[in-house]
Structure 1
Amino acid sequence: MNNASHITLSSVQTTLSSVQTRVLVYHSTQARQYATTLQELGLRNVLWAEELNVALANLKDVEVIFGWQVPVQLLAAGLDVRWVQWTGAGVDKAFNLSSPWPQSVLLTRIVDQFGVDIAEYVFAYVLFLTKQIETLQLAQQAHLWQQRVLPGLSGKVMGVAGVGSIGREVVRKARAFDMRVYGMTAHRDGMGILDCRFGPEQWPEFVHDLDFLVLTLPLTAQTRGVVQAEILSKMKANAVIVNVGRGELVDEQALLAFVQAGRIRGAVLDVFVEEPLAPDSRLWSTPNLVVTPHLSGPTNVTKACHFFAENLLRYVHGQTLHGIVDTKQQY
C-alpha cells in the first residue's frame, strides 16, 4: 500500500458515504449496535450478523469483516474477504482456529484506545493495596481509631511485561508516582521511558526486584503460561501481580499455591484461563487475591467504530492501516 495523504478522523463522516466496499459486522451480541453506529457515520454498504448462519448467508461480495472472534468458517467461505478488523486489542482468539489464519486476509486490531482505562484500573488496585484501604474500611466499620503510617509508591519498583500502547500508559502513570519502572519487551526502540529493559529470555532477572508485576502482554505461543512456578519463585515475598493481559499468561494453580503459602503477597486478576470464571473456582475466595470480571479495558462501540471507519477510508485509498497484526508473531 502506498502512503497517500493522511485521512483524519474529522473527515470520516463526510467521505464514508462514498465507500462502496461491502462490509459485514460480525459480533455475537452487539453486531446491530456496531452496524447502526457505522451507518450513523455515513457508511451505507454494511450488513450485520450475530449468528454464523446469518453471516454465511450474507457473505456474498463481502470484502471486509468488522467483528469479534470471527469464525474460521467465515474466512473459508468468504472468497472475497481481504481484511478483518477485530473490535478489540487482543487477537489471540484469531489463532485458536482449527486452521491457520489465511495469508491472503489482512488482520488489524484496535490500538491506542484501552491504555488509559487499563492503567487507571491497575493503579486503583495498586493504591488500594499500598494504602491498606481494606484495613481502614474494616477499622471504620468497627469504630476503631487506629492511626498508622501508610506506605507510599515513591521508589517502589513496577515491572511492566508488554510495553505496547497499554503498557506505555501504565509506565507513564507509574512515573507520575515516582516509581522505578522496569519493562519486559522484545523491542528496543523507544524504551528510554524505562529505568531498565529486559528481553523475553530474562524473566528471572526481570521479576527479581519487583514490588508490582503488571502483565499487559498479548497471548502468543511464546507467552502462554510464561508466569509459572519457576518465575514466581524468583519474586519477592511482598510482590503483587496485576494481570490485565490474558489469563493464560499465568499458571493459575501455581499462583494459588504461592499466594496461599505466603510466598508472594497477592494478585489482582481481571482475566482468566476460563471466562466466565466458574462459581466454584478457588480464585474467588482465596485471601489476597482480587477477582474482577474482565472489565479493565472495555471496548467503547462508538470509539471502535470511529477507529474502523478511519481504517476503512485508509483501506479504500490504498494507505497503510492502523493496528496491523503480524500473523506469524500473533500480535
Structure 2
Amino acid sequence: MNKLLIYDDDASIYLAEIEKRNLPEIEIHTAISPEEAQLQAPTTDIIFGRPVLVASILPEARQLRWVQSTFAGVEPLCESHLPDNYVLTGVKELFGSLMSEYVFGYILARERSILATARNQQKKIWKRIKYRSLSGVTIGIVGLGSIGREIARTASHFSMRTLGLKRTPGDIDNVEHIYQPADLNQFLPQLDYLVLVLPDTTETRCFISKNELALMKDSSVLINVGRGVTIDQGDLLAALQARIIGGAILDVFEDEPLPPDSPLWNMENVVITPHNSAFSFPDQVAAIFCENYLRYVNGLPLRHVVNFSKGY
C-alpha cells in the first residue's frame, strides 16, 4: 500500500478527482495546514502538492519516494539545502496552449491598437488607426520547452519569422534558427518581440539586464511569462523610461504582487497582469498524477522527471 499525501490549497478538489479513478494500492490523506502536513509527512511515500508547501515538510518526509508537483515551476523543491533523495515530477505539456493564447492575445491587442480603439469608442470617436500584419514580424523565444514550442507553433500560423534561443543546439519545429546564449548579440537586435519562457535557475537569474536591453530595437517589445527574476527589473524600468525598447508585457515579477509604488504601474508602454497567463486546472493536473501513479506501481519510468541541478 502506498501512502499519498495531497498538500495543496485545492487538496479537496484534487482528492475528488483522484478518487474518481479508483487507483490501486493507495491510501490517500490530505492536508491544508502545516500542522496536518507535518503530522502525516514522516510516514508518507508520495506527496502531490504545491511546491512551496511541499518544500516546508521535506525534511520530515523520511520515507518519501516521489513528489508530483501541481505547479509547472518547481524551484522551491530544488533549493540546495533540501533533500533530493526522491523522484520529483513536474507538470508539463499542459500550459502551452494557455500561455500561447496569452502571448498572442496581447501581441494582437498591441498591433491592432485594441485598447486605443476601445477608448475611442467610449468617446464616440470614429478614427482608423494604422496597423501592420504579423506576417514577417520577427519573434524570438527564449526557452524552448513545451510552452516555447507551442508559442512557436502559433507564430507559424501568423507567418511570423520565429527565432529561438536555448542552451543546447538542435532543430525545433517552426523555428527558423536556434541561437545559444553566447549569441545574444546576434539574436536580440533582430527581434520585434522577445518572449521569455525561462525557469528560475542560477543561470537564468537576470538573464536580461541593461546590456541585453541595449541590443534590442527601440521599437521591440519584451514579453515575460516565465519567472520575474530572469529580468533585472531596475534595468528594465530604466530602459522603458528611456525608450531604449518600445514596451513590455509582464505577467511575472521579482516581487509578487507587484508593489503599488512600482513605477511600472503608470507606464503607458507597459502591460501588467497578475501572474495569470496560465491557470492550473485541477482535473488536468490530477490526470497527470494518475497516469504517473499507474506507471509508478507498474515499475515504469515516470513522465516529466525534474533534474534537481537544472531546476526543471
CA deviation map 1:57-88 (0-9, x unaligned): 11243111111124444221111101111111
Task: Give matches, 1:207-218, under 5 Å.
Answer: 207-218=188-199
2: CA distance, partners of 1:109 / 1:145: 50
Q: Distance in 1 between matches of 2:204 and 2:281?
A: 27
How do 1:1-331 and structure 2 match up within 5 A?
A: 20-27=1-8, 29-43=9-23, 45-68=27-50, 69-95=52-78, 97=79, 99-331=80-312
CA contact (8 A) 2:149 2:173 kept: no
2:148 counterpart SS class: helix
Deviations 1:77-108 (A, max 9, x none): 1111011111111112223x4x4343311111
Indicate if the aligned counterparts of 2:59 and 2:82 stay in contact, CA closer than 8 A: no
Distance in 2 (alpha carbons) for counterparts of 1:54 and 1:192 = 46
| Contiguous gaps of at least 5 residues in structure 1 | 1-19
Percent identity between the aligned chains?
36
* Secondary structure class of the residue paired with 2:292: helix
**8 Å Cα contact 1:26-1:65 kept in structure 2:** yes
Q: d(CA) in 2 for partners of 1:70 and 1:231?
A: 35
8 Å Cα contact 1:219/1:248 also seen in 2: yes
Aligned partners of 2:5, 2:109: CA distance in 1, in Å? 43
Please say if residues 25 and 48 of structure 1, whose CA atoms lie closer than 8 Å, have aligned partners that are also in contact.
yes
- Detail structure 1 runs of 4+ shifted over 4 Å in the superposition: none
Partner of 2:190, secondary structure, is: coil
The answer for unaligned runs of 5 or more in structure 2 is none
Aligned residue for 1:6?
A: none
State the match for 1:8 in structure 2: none
Structure 1 counterpart SS, 2:204: coil
- Aligned counterparts of 1:73 and 1:144: Cα–Cα separation in 2: 56
Contact kept, 8 Å, 1:162 with 1:185, in 2: the verdict is yes
Once the two structures are superposed, residues 183-228 of structure 1 have per-residue CA deviations (whole angstroms, 9 ceiling, x without a partner) of 0112334424311111122222221110000111111100011110
The CA RMSD measured in Å over matched residues stands at: 1.5
After TM superposition, the score normalised by the length of structure 1 is 0.89
**Structure showing greater relative contact order (alpha-carbon pairs closer than 8 Å, 6 or more residues apart):** 1
1:12 alignment partner in structure 2: none
The 2-side partners of 1:71 and 1:83 are apart by 11
